[in-house]
A and B are shown apart, each in its own frame.
Chain A
Amino acid sequence: MTAGLVVEGASYRYAGAAERSLRNVSLELAPGRVIGVAGANESGKSTLCLLAAGLAPAVIGGRLEGSVRIDGVETTAIPPHGLAQQCGLLFQNAATQLSNTAATVFEEVAFGPCNLGLPVPEVIERVWWALRAVGVEEIAPRDPARLSGGQGQLVALASVLALRPRYLILDEPTSELDPAGTRLVAETLARIARETGAGILLVEHKMDVLARIADEVVVLAEGSVTLSGPAAAVLADPRLAELGVEPPAGVRLERAVREAGLEWSTALAEAIE
């Protein structure tokens, strides 16, 4: 058995759809690694998340060709409760993730660990750990339905982290966050990968986040992997913009300086690093 979340030659068509949303996608997420997923809107990023987390096709149907394995086992062979413990999935729209049953943020985050049947002291410990990890412990007593967009997103992320899954599949976890929240989430994810050995698949439009924490980056276009490799190389690739992905700020600034006919010296590069 190979440890890791492996997507191999996977193509996927949603139930009732004429076209495949993913075509022959392969990637290998080893424990403790962070793989960034970038691409234009509707290039297949969210579909890849559903596939990697085993929700597609097991829960939502559709047709999968190829293979998606978690630690050597096909996701189609793992029951939903088993998947939930191995793969934590954060949806793109955090509001759709919240249970709508909890009266407080604390209970919202406790919902998952309670369902895992953990002893109460451990549930409590996990909830505080998860709330602190994303910096929202102060809003623990608040009503989850009355949070700001960013706070809701952080609470949804905390709910996933509290499950302590071996693999985290995160669909734009920082989209509604302020720069400080974005930085905190990025640092927290890097730390979780490093310290707990969780593998993280991270869909992002903010390339600065991927530049900071991703080991590898995969760029999708029309359902296929068009660029992949070490993060630094992919993020500096001149084709990125054509693929609908805005390069990191440092790369953009360098390009602007060069386009103005100024030389990009080592000294300037260091100043900007």
Chain B
Amino acid sequence: MTAPGSTAPGSTAPVPSIEFEAVSFSYPDGTQALGEVGLRIEPGELVAIVGQNGSGKSTLVRHLNGLLRPTSGRVLLDGLDIRGIHVAGLAARVGLAFQNPDRQLFAGRVAAEVAFGPRNLGLRGAALDERVSSALEAVGLGSDAAANPYDLGYSRRKLLALASVLAMRTPILVLDEPTTGQDARGVARVRAVVAAAAGEGRTVIAISHDMRFVAECFERVAVMRAGRVVLDGAPDVVFGEASWPELRRTYLEPPLAAIEGARLGLGSTPTASRFVAALNDATGRGRISVG
């Protein structure tokens, strides 16, 4: 784990820790979306947030860039209440890619869309161009810079929204359902983006229903139900057999590899590669026969 306040290479700001301190939030129509959520995320952690539809996942992460303010409780970056951080300061630290790209896109050209954020950070000229082209390359839209965002299909608009956030090079990257609507290649791009950010020591927080993506790309999984965090740990723990009753109450299913690993007595195998390794090991020791 990186020390708090450490600087990620290629990014301007140090990576702050995040702390949700008894955060509750109710929407104006009275729906309570969050109930005293307590969650601490260290700099550089890769955290997946999973849970039922309507369990408060998107509401929680919208507190990170000040889109929502807690009804009670506090959200702290490096121990500082984000109420005290001005919007521009927050935008430079937390990049949030929305679930629905159409709530985010507005420019007439793909390149302009991606340039908007870094331009507001004060970048101009070659530095700005470099930001834009590297962000577009990262999501595979390098050849679409001149297109109109709305001429792109839904999946590419979603990748464009991701590129706009990447171009900010924020120390904290928050992705709300980044893999939905993506085909196998699109999912691979998103995985590469997460891996690259992780390699630079940034914090990545992603909301996802794709348990395979979660198990393979994240080191920590927080499970939400009805506005609370009910499970929090490594994929081994959260998808391990002991957690299944809680997952079931949350209407979640562990990845198939975890289910089959447990059925064959292989222990907690949240990913296919872990499953195969455990199976290899077990057959090598003659514990089970697959011949």
Chain A residues near B (Cβ < 8 Å): 39-42, 46, 92-93, 95-96, 139, 142-143, 146-151, 154, 172, 175-182, 205, 241, 244-246, 249-250, 252-253, 256-257, 259-260, 262-265, 267-268, 271-272
Task: Give min CB distance, B179 to chain A, whole Å.
Answer: 9
Partner of A149, one of B58, B154, B276: B58
**What distance in Å separates the Cβ of A266 from its nearest Cβ neighbour in chain B?**
10
Q: With a CB–CB cut-off of 8 A, which chain A residues contact B58?
A: 148-149
* Cβ B99 vs Cβ A149 within 8 A: yes
Give CA–CA (A175, B209) in the complex, Å. Answer: 9
Number of B residues with CB within 8 Å of any CB on chain A: 50
Whether A149 contacts B100 in the complex (CB less than 8 A), given A205-B181, A244-B184, A249-B255, comes out as: yes
What is the minimal beta-carbon distance from A229 to any residue of chain B, in angstroms? 20
Closest chain-B Cβ to A187's Cβ sits at a distance in Å of: 14
Cβ contacts under 8 Å, B6 to chain A: none
Interface residue? B177 (CB, 8 A): yes
For A143, A245, A253, the residue with the greatest tally of chain B CB atoms inside 10 Å of its CB is A253
B181 contacts across to A, CB distance below 8 A: 41, 92, 172, 175, 205
Known: A41-B156, A178-B50. 9 other contacts (CB 8 A): A41-B155, A93-B102, A95-B102, A149-B53, A176-B209, A178-B51, A181-B53, A244-B184, A257-B290
In the complex the two chains form, is A149's CB within 8 Å of B177's CB? yes
Q: Are B251 and A41 in contact (CB under 8 A)?
A: no
Judge whether A146 and B290 touch: CB under 8 Å: no
Choice from A150, A263, A272 contacting B54 with Cβ under 8 Å = A150
- Whether B256 and A253, one on each chain, are in contact in the complex, defined by CB atoms closer than 8 angstroms, is yes
B106 part of interface (Cβ distance < 8 Å): no
- Across chains A and B, which 8 residue pairs bring their CB atoms closest together, nearest first? A150-B53, A180-B251, A41-B155, A249-B256, A256-B272, A244-B183, A246-B184, A148-B54
In the complex, the answer to whether A256 meets B53 with C-beta atoms within 8 Å is: no
Task: Identify 25 residue pairs between A and B in the complex whose beta-carbon atoms are under 8 Å apart, listed by A's number.
Answer: A41-B155, A42-B156, A142-B29, A148-B53, A148-B57, A149-B58, A149-B177, A150-B53, A151-B54, A154-B53, A175-B181, A176-B177, A178-B50, A180-B252, A249-B255, A253-B272, A256-B275, A257-B290, A260-B280, A262-B276, A262-B280, A265-B289, A267-B290, A271-B264, A272-B256
Kindly identify which residue among B103, B209, B272, B289 contacts A177, using a CB–CB cutoff of 8 Å.
B209
Q: From A146, A250, A265, give the contact of B27 (CB < 8 A).
A: A146
Asked if B84 is at the interface of the complex by the 8 Å CB criterion, the answer is: no
| Nearest CB of chain A from residue B283's CB, rounded to whole Å | 6
Nearest-CB residue, chain B, relative to A95: B100
Which of chain B's residues 242-261 have a Cβ closer than 8 Å to chain A?
A: 251-253, 255-257, 260
Task: Note all chain B residues with C-beta closer than 8 A to A40.
Answer: 183-185
B133 within 8 A of A: no
Chain B residue contacts of A178, Cβ below 8 A: 50-53, 209, 251-252
The residue in A142, A149, A182 that gathers the most chain B C-beta atoms within 10 A of its C-beta is A149
Across the interface, name the chain B residue whose C-beta is closest to A206: B210
Residue of B nearest to A91 (CB): B154
CA distance in complex: A271, B54 (Å): 34
Q: Is B7 an interface residue (CB 8 A)?
A: no
Give, as a whole number of angstroms, the nearest-CB distance from A212 to chain B: 13
Q: Does B273 make an interface contact (CB < 8 A)?
A: yes
Q: Judge whether B290 and A263 touch: CB under 8 Å.
A: yes
Contact present for B253 and A179 (CB under 8 Å): yes
A262 near B290 with CB under 8 A, answer yes
* Residues on A with beta carbons closer than 8 Å to the beta carbon of B211: 179
Name the B residues within 8 Å of A181 (CB-CB).
Answer: 52-53, 251
- A41 to B152 Cα, complex, angstroms: 11
Residues on A with beta carbons closer than 8 Å to the beta carbon of B57: 148
